[in-house]
Amino acid sequence: MTLLLLGVNHRTAGVEDRESLAFGPEEAGALLSALGTTGAIREAAVLSTCNRTEFYVAATEVTAADRQLQAAVREVRPDDPLAPGDHRYVRTGPDAVTHLLRVGCGLDSMVVGDVQILGQVKEAYQIAREAGTSGPLLDRLFQTALHAGKRARTETSIGVGTVSVSSAVVEMAAHRDVARANGHDICPRHEHGLTGQHLVVIGAGEAARLAALHARQHAPASITIVNRTARRGEALAAEVGGTTCLFDELPRVLCEADVVFSATRATAPVLTADTLRGAMAVRRGRPLVVFDLAVPRDVEPVAGEIPGVHLHAVDVIQSVVDAHMTERQAQVPDVERIVADETARFETWHRGLSATPTVVALRDHFERIRLEELDRLLANASEDERSRADRLTRALVNRLLHTPTVRLKDADPASDDGRTRLQATRDLFALGVPPEPSRGQDA
């Protein structure tokens, strides 16, 4: 099987295109369950964050798998956001492996070394396992990506001082000297950034949690967590020393807020222009800064046209974080070496996986001959003599097959030389045609 990656990210598509292809955990699981493991697709997983949506597929034929995946996405996204175009990219084989490993290491994030992404890769893998669409190839791929990400954070300094998208937004709001985008101050009213200000955090997931935790370090006057469910909102409020309320109280807290960070996983805006317009009428001209960290967007874009509302979507982050990237960028070459090392390990495993039926058949062939000869020559031998002969002949067969086994596992089945090597072995020892692997087999 061939590994296929189809995706869009913050480098290839704007927020409008990304949100049209965004999938929450439940949606991703439903899509994978509907997609199944039939046709050209034998395994599948989807990684969907605010900066990317990527589909990883183990395919028997790449073009057919691409069409099959597009058709499945069209069933739930009628505007056909995965159709071929400049907004999407395609990777196959080792290139797809390297891409996911770079993602897991934080090298492909909007903010290099993003602390959230490794957890999001782990979640994507878990969703695929629960949907029953992850098999031997994707299991190994995602485990390798998680291992590479952990290596990057323990063997290099890419994680030292690393900021997530959430913390980057908080820093933008907190430091007026760097908080400029599109020619104006991000926080035009606040002389001291977030210090002494009333903050509202909408959502209680990981992105919202990180925003609240970082904001707390700047000594705000208050932090209010607004969430759909009381339990998660109360837990986060307790963690940051704030208060909490449900969504029906959002209009009230907006009247008192100075800065709003919104980071839910809702599929439709949770903060409408009408709600903000009503709040601004009560605020009597006091400006309100709103950061929308979500994809799909939490805040209706038209809300940015309301007088006094300073609305910023997630894409604005890139314009102000570059100055803080020097230390992390210095670690990139070391992390790239980890990615290359882990990619090579994966490819070695994958080549060995393709050779497994031939290796197993070859060893079975020699073992059958070994046992036949032992039975013929030692029919009247004692148990001790037979035991010694068994150890001797087993060791001899292992020695004889060691080099052929290594050479077969090292053969690249995608190359002419690799295919010739595997086929020649089957022909020389009359091993027959290799069985067609099923999804649950490691071959």
Q: Which positions are annotated as active-site residues? A: 50
* Contact status, residue 236 vs residue 204, Cβ threshold 8 Å: yes
Neighbours of 403 (CB within 10 A): 9
| Residue ranges in 289-415 assigned as alpha helix (H) | 318-321, 326-377, 383-409
Among 296, 326, 291, residue whose Cα is nearest residue 309: 291
Neighbours of 344 (CB within 10 A): 13
Return the SS3 of 167: helix
Helix (H) or strand (E) holding 208: helix 206-216
* Contact status, residue 386 vs residue 374, Cβ threshold 8 Å: yes
Rounded Cα–Cα distance for residues 411 and 402 (Å): 15
Q: Which residues does 315 contact at the CB level (< 8 Å), separation at least 6?
A: 10, 14, 15
Phi, psi of 3, rounded to the nearest 5 degrees: -85, 130
Rounded Cα–Cα distance for residues 161 and 175 (Å): 17
Return the SS3 of 150: helix
Rounded Cα–Cα distance for residues 59 and 125 (Å): 17
* Contact status, residue 139 vs residue 439, Cβ threshold 8 Å: no
Rounded Cα–Cα distance for residues 184 and 173 (Å): 13
Q: Helix, strand, coil shares of the chain as percentages rounded to 5?
A: 55, 15, 30
* Contact status, residue 87 vs residue 56, Cβ threshold 8 Å: no
Half-sphere CA count of 152, side-chain side, radius 13 A: 35
Which two three-digit tokens encode residue 124? 């994507």
Rounded Cα–Cα distance for residues 227 and 202 (Å): 6
Rounded Cα–Cα distance for residues 174 and 162 (Å): 17
DSSP state of 77: -
